[in-house]
Amino acid sequence: MITITGAKSISGQPLTLTCANQTHQTIDATGLIALPGLIDPHVHFRTPGMEYKEDWRTGAMAAICGGYTTVFDMPNTIPPTISAALLQEKIALIDSQLKEVAIPLRYHLFFGADKKHFSEVHQVKNAVIGIKVFMGCSTGNLVIDDDESLHAIFAIAATQNLIVAVHAEDEDRLKSQKKHFQDQGALSYSHHSEIRDVQAACLAVAKAIELCRIYRTRLYILHVSTADEIALIKKAKEEGLPVHAETTPHHLFLNQDSYPQLQGRAVVNPPLRELHHNTALMEAIRAGIIDTIGSDHAPHTQQEKAKPYGECPSGMPGIETTLPLLLTAYHQGLLTLEHIVALTSTRAETIFGLPKTADWVLVDMDREAVVDPLKLKTKCAWSAFSGRLLRGWPIYTILKEQCFFLDDLRENR
Ligand code: DOR
Ligand code: ZN
């Protein structure tokens, strides 16, 4: 058994934590702050079919090193998670990979909305955390781009009492924008933000809110990236609709100015926006309009991200840097620790109806370290935040009474 003494809760309460590890020792954690184990409602751990980018062995290690003890995985795998049988196969693969690394990571899966498989939703309703609807195309082939199918899936979800998580970018707008820019000739990475513009996001968010109003479907809007979407979400919440909103670390802490340095590594859906949206997102967190932060951990290999625009896949890893970025924002006076706990655990518990756990992450609020891709556990081994000096890092993660010392894990890549 391991006994950890000296840590404090965010309100300054002294805590003594015990873990059921094989070794017997007492750890003096004086000076560390204990936060509830983090919940990441949005990861792409790539099993099945894209394990060369990530799998649950490396993904779980990355989660633990980031302070996360629960993740929700997305269905845009190969094959996508769109039927009851595919869901069961995915669960079996995940369980065996987690067993190999002896990390009992808590996880939940989203079911991918696919027109041909709507009839299977009732079969999987107790096995999934919600239904993921891609309103616009992104990585993979999942998309629901016609109104009839959107109405159908929102209605089904409401009757099954399932939450719908939307990737809200309007497919028609994306198509016409793409054509317009292609007709004009050469495209560079930064055109990504102009093609997948603010209007594409707003059209889809407005439509999703309208469907929520009609069917009273619980709605979770993924990766909100603009001030304009925030305005729509604020109105919907004031109206009393069951609408919840997530943002990501990259939409909070990166913007279109990042393209010259990051090149293809900055390409993500929805895209990076102008600087003023960063500020608006931070304000929306403080105002309680944004509920959660999802890392949208979407690893691709460095070779893939070096491809020219058009061939370079969208997405970036994030689960290991989200908490240090938030803690750095705390030191800058942008967020309180209460905001961070709400964003990274308690709001997700409420929205998705998760039971409270005794998982913890102990952070050293004053540790300063530069993001070093060689110390990351994600298989893709790069970060858009590489080289950034961050203050506030997780030191211990406690998952199901098992204590992980993160410096040891980070050293052994
Ligand atoms: O940038 C993104 N990457 N956005 C998505 O919607 C999907 C994700 C991925 O799976 O790579
Ligand atoms: Zn995603």
pLDDT average, residue stretch 49-55: 98
The domains found in the chain, sorted by start residue, are: 36-358+369-389 (3.20.20.140)
Percent of the chain exceeding pLDDT 90 equals 91
pLDDT of residue 182: 85
Task: Give the mean pLDDT of 198-214.
Answer: 98
Joined together, the tokens standing for residue 233 give 């979400």
Residue 413 has pLDDT above 80, yes or no: no
Q: Which amino acid is at 121?
A: V
Question: Mean pLDDT across the chain, nearest whole number?
Answer: 96
pLDDT class of 136 with cuts at 50, 70, 90 = confident
CA of 248 to the centre of ligand 2 (A): 10
Residue 178, pLDDT > 70, answer: yes
Which of 13-22, 96-105, 236-245 is predicted with the least confidence, judged by mean pLDDT?
13-22
Mean pLDDT of 354-383: 96
Q: Are residues 66 and 323 in contact, defined by beta-carbon separation less than 8 angstroms?
A: yes
Is residue 412 pLDDT above 70, yes or no?
A: no
Does position 322 have pLDDT exceeding 70, yes or no? yes
List ligand 1's pocket residues with C-beta within 6 A.
44, 76, 138-139, 167, 268-269, 298, 313-315
Determine the average pLDDT of the residues in 361-375. 97
Q: pLDDT tens across 67-111, in order?
A: 999 999 999 999 999 999 999 999 999 999 999 999 999 999 999
**pLDDT tens per residue across span 179-205:** 888 888 768 999 999 999 999 999 999
HEC per residue, the chain: CEEEEEEEECCCCEEEEEECCCCCEEEECCCCEEEECEEEEEECCCCCCCCCCCCHHHHHHHHHHCCEEEEEECCCCCCCCCCHHHHHHHHHHHHHHHHHHCCCCEEEEEEECCHHHHHHHHHHCCCCCEEEEECCCCCCCCCCCCHHHHHHHHHHHHHCCCCEEEECCCHHHHHHHHHHHHHCCCCCCCHHHHHCCHHHHHHHHHHHHHHHHHHCCCEEECCCCCHHHHHHHHHHHHCCCCEEEEECHHHHHCCHHHHHHHHHHHCCCCCCCCHHHHHHHHHHHHCCCCCEECCCECCCCHHHHCCCCCCCCCCECCCCCHHHHHHHHHHCCCCCHHHHHHHHHHHHHHHHCCCCCCCEEEEEEEEEEECCHHHCCCCCCCCCCCCCEEEEEEEEEEECCEEEEHHHHHHCC
Is residue 140 pLDDT above 90, yes or no? Answer: no
Phi, psi for residue 387 in degrees, rounded to 5: 90, -10
Of 39, 67, 68, 59, nearest to 343 (Cα)?
39
- Residue 23, pLDDT > 90, answer no
Q: Which of 18-22, 133-137, 207-211 has the lowest mean pLDDT?
A: 18-22
Q: Is 114 a catalytic residue?
A: no
Question: Could you tell me the distance, in angstroms and rounded to a whole number, from the CA of residue 224 to the centre of ligand 1?
Answer: 14
- pLDDT of 20 above 90: no
Residue tagged active-site, from 296, 359, 364, 407: 296
Ligand 1, atom 4: closest residue by C-alpha:
269
More confident residue, 24 or 271: 271
Mean pLDDT over 50-79 rounds to: 98
List Cβ neighbours of 287 (8 Å cut-off, separation of 6 or more). 234
Tell whether the model's pLDDT for residue 333 goes beyond 80: yes
Q: Nearest ligand to the C-alpha of residue 142? A: 1
For 51, list phi and psi in degrees, rounded to 5.
-65, -10
